Structure 1
Amino acid sequence: MDTRDAADDRKKSDGRGPFEKFVEAVNQQVSRAPFFVVCLGIVVAWLASYPLFSSGKNWQYVIHTVSSVISLLLLVLLENAGRRSQESVHEKLNVLAEGMAALMKSEGRDDPALREAEQKLNEAIGLEERH
């Protein structure tokens, strides 16, 4: 029987590349209060910079450009993190379903309802890959 600790397994190299590690780090940071404070600081700095611009339109272009670029980059990074998280959840659910199907198969030799449920469960495993 394998007695490895799950925490030890997480510490080992998981095959993620630099981009995936970067995405994970960004995902962890943007969901915390310091990121909100940084965003608030950008808005305050923008508001304070009004006297430095010759026209109000140029002043507005600055915040629109900065916010658009930051939003686009964060959207791409967070979508990547969300996709990987969703794939991980599906994989875990598939493993649980496969284990449940194996248990149902071993226990349902004499129970037709349990055999039918096991068959439906086996058909459902990997359903997201077919769609």
Structure 2
Amino acid sequence: MLYLTGRKALAGKPSLDVCSETGRARLSYRRAEEIFEYATRLLANPLASPEDIEDLDGWTLHRLRHSALTHDAEGGTSTPMLLARSRHASVRFLERYARPGVDAVARNVAERDSAARRRL
């Protein structure tokens, strides 16, 4: 995921920091985090009213990144690929993000249950 500024990049900006399609510059991680956190305040607090938005906390890009890892793990992505994507060196650090939910475990068991396959 890449967050871009609303304007074209200034001349001399490194090409990796410029979108090749739009010519807009990449936002800094700090600024992208601020925007994402603010934009998700009401989503993260569904019982709050819009008037309380300044007092609420939203989601972080870090949380978003690890949520994606959890979904990938539930979808069957291999451990080496999860390690590479998360940039963790050890499976131990990956454990907290690769916890499949109840539905994912049930789906996995059903797919691998030989008795259930015979009934089909």
Q: Same fold (TM over 0.5)?
A: no
**Which structure's residues are more often helix, by fraction?**
1
Give the TM-score normalised by the residue count of structure 1.
0.23
